[in-house]
Structure formats: structure tokens, C-alpha cells
Amino acid sequence: MRTLVTGGAGFVGSHLCETFLGLGHEVICVDNLITGGLGNVEHLRSNPQFSFIRHDISHHIDIDGPIDNILHFASPASPVDYLRHPIPTLKVGSLGTHNTLGLAKAKNSSYLLASTSEVYGDPERHPQSEDYWGNVNPIGIRGVYDEAKRFSEAMVMAYHRCHNINTHIIRIFNTYGNRMRLDDGRVLPNFMGQALRGEPLTVYGDGSQTRSFCHVDDLVEGITKLLFKDYHEPVNLGNPSEVTILEFAKEILDLSGSKSKIIFHPLPQDDPKVRKPDISRAKNLLGWEPKIQRTEGLTKTLKHFQEKIGGK
């Protein structure tokens, strides 16, 4: 099998490249390195089954030979990143999705889109199941990401319906693990970096907003299961164990043994107040549910960040 991963030099994408190489696939990683880094795939580069193409997928791409699977993961994903790159984010969700679907049509590839829990916006239904259409502010600052992903989903379904492409859509809920950038601005690298450096942990708002954190190994297992299923509607992949951001900060302080304080900063505009996946569909369809408890996943991830900070 020959599998192309866009955004393959990013956090999740690099784990996918590794996993598909492990399954015996040839892997082509396409990335423009806007938020990713070659360091994430350095360990794969000596593998003859692995190739890296530096390319902005919002522009047309030609690839020689057959492609069995296309996994479209290219997109800034951290709020800080997509607020810094609003137009590239809109382009990769729209033009990038169009280009990769065109490639899938030309090569008759299976296709999987990395969508997001952000399609539910600031949800009025809790937990969120796939039949909920969401509550998104299209012109708010997060609209560049949320609407790009909603457009991507619409485009994927149109290619499935009009061209009979074997498409898949996953809606990923906050996922964490090794190879997140310490400075990507997401809550987990922020808190861990701050705890390890002895700086105050910056809780936005009063910290009563909730998130549900999934370890990347669980996510990747769900992705590999869905890719080989004949199912085309969106599937939530995430860990339903929900925590307030304030509790989360305290958990990280406990696990790291840090003496850092917690300080409060203003809540960013349109920050979702709650988020928790209903994973019934993934359970029934794939027999999948996350196995890694938060304490175990956070302990492993803390160790990676410790090594990064220590190695600097």
C-alpha cells in the first residue's frame, strides 16, 4: 500500500507516518512546515519506504504512481497558530481539501479528512454527538479554522456522493502526546512548559470551561480502524473523560511536582465553554475506545517535555 499524509511533519501526522510505515505501507509525507518540523520525522528519513515532499497543499500537486490512501491532516491546529495564520488556515481547509480530493479521484484512493470538534463551535448540546450541527460564529476569530473544517467536510461528502470516492471524516477532540510543540500555545504544552520551568500556569477565564483529552496513540488506533471501513459519515474520536481547565492545571502541577502558581488571564473570544465527545458511533462501528487514562498519558508526555526542556 502507498499512503500519502498531508501535514505529516506535524504532531499527529508524524505519528501516522510512523504507524503506516509500521503496517508495511510506503509513506509519502507532504508538508510545508508552517507549524510542523522536520525533527518530527527525522527518525523516519533513513527508511527507504518513507519520502518527504516540502509543498503547500493549497497548491496543486502531482505525484507519480498509484496512491492507495490519502490522509489530509495539513492545517494549523492550535488556536494560537491559526490566529497567527488565518488565511493559510482557510486556504488549506478549502483549496488543500479540494486538491487532495482531486488527487484521490485521479488515483482512486481512499481518503480520510482530519476534521475537528471545533465544527460544534461553542456547543449547546453536551456531550457532542455527530448528528449535532454545531454553534459556530463564522465571523469570529476562530471562524477561520471552524468554517474551513466545516467546508472541508462538505467538500468531502460532495466528492463521495458525486465521484463515489471512498471517503472518511474524523472529528478529533483535543489530542495530546509526544511531538507537540512546547510553544504551540495549546493548553497542555503551555501548562507543562510552565510547570517544568517554574513559571505560573496561565488559566484563561476562571478555568471552569471543560475539555476532554485523548492520547495520540488512542487516536491513531481509531484512525487506522476507520480507514479500512466502508463508512462515510463523520466519526468522533476522542476521550470522553472531561475535566475543567482549572482541575487540569492542578493535575499537571501534582504530576510534575512543580511549585508553580496558577494565575488567571482573560478568556479568549468564542472559547468553547464545554467539550466532550459522545463516542458511541466509534464504539459500535469500530469497537474502538480510548485505553490510555489521563494520568498515564500525561505522565508519559511530561517526560517527553522534560527531555526537550533539559536538552535545550
Q: Show contacts with ligand UDP in window 196-225 (CB under 6 A).
A: 202-204, 209, 211
Backbone angles phi, psi at 9, to 5 degrees: -95, 15
- For position 137 contacting ligand UDP by CB under 6 A, the verdict is no
Closest approach of Cβ 73 to ligand NAD, in Å?
Answer: 4
Q: Which of 68, 233, 251, 271 binds ligand UDP (CB under 6 A)?
A: 271
Q: Give the integer Cα–Cα distance in Å for 8 and 73.
A: 7
> Quick check: 145 and 105 in contact, CB under 8 A?
no
Q: Which of 17, 76, 201, 220 binds ligand NAD (CB under 6 A)?
A: 76
Selection from 158, 81, 78, 84 nearest residue 118 by Cα:
78
Backbone angles phi, psi at 171, to 5 degrees: -105, 105
Backbone angles phi, psi at 26, to 5 degrees: -85, 135
Candidates 27-35, 41-49, 231-239, 264-272; binding stretch for ligand UDP (CB under 6 A): 264-272
DSSP 238: S
DSSP 80: H
Q: Give the integer Cα–Cα distance in Å for 147 and 82.
A: 12
- For position 187 contacting ligand UDP by CB under 6 A, the verdict is yes
Selection from 261, 267, 266 nearest residue 249 by Cα:
261
Candidates 125-133, 167-175, 289-297, 301-309; binding stretch for ligand NAD (CB under 6 A): 167-175
Closest approach of Cβ 312 to ligand UDP, in Å?
Answer: 20
Q: Which does 204 bind (CB under 5 to 8 A by kind): ligand UDP, ligand NAD, none?
A: ligand UDP
Q: Show contacts with ligand UDP in window 240-259 (CB under 6 A).
A: 245
Query: Rounded to 10 degrees, what is the CA torsion of 212, 114, 227, 173?
Result: 0
Q: Which does 75 bind (CB under 5 to 8 A by kind): ligand NAD, ligand UDP, none?
A: ligand NAD
Q: Give the integer Cα–Cα distance in Å for 93 and 118.
A: 13
Q: Which three cell numbers stand for residue 270?
A: 468564542
Closest approach of Cβ 230 to ligand UDP, in Å?
Answer: 31
Is residue 159 among the annotated active site residues? no
Q: Which three cell numbers stand for residue 200?
A: 505560573
Of residues 96 and 193, the one with the C-beta less far from ligand NAD: 96
- For position 290 contacting ligand UDP by CB under 6 A, the verdict is no
Of residues 110 and 260, the one with the C-beta less far from ligand UDP: 260
Q: Which of 32, 110, 190, 212 binds ligand UDP (CB under 6 A)?
A: 190
Cα–Cα separations (whole angstroms), residue 143 to 79, 132, 276 = 11, 18, 20
Cα–Cα separations (whole angstroms), residue 271 to 207, 208, 289 = 11, 12, 27
Single out the catalytic residue among 82, 111, 120, 145.
145
Closest approach of Cβ 74 to ligand NAD, in Å?
Answer: 3
Q: How many CB atoms lie within 10 A of CB 51?
A: 15
- Per the DSSP assignment, residues forming a β-bridge with 210 are 244
Of residues 51 and 174, the one with the C-beta less far from ligand UDP: 174
Q: Which residues are catalytic?
A: 145
- By the criterion CB under 6 A, which residues form the site for ligand NAD? 6-7, 9-13, 30-36, 56-58, 73-77, 81, 88, 92, 96, 114, 116, 172, 174-175
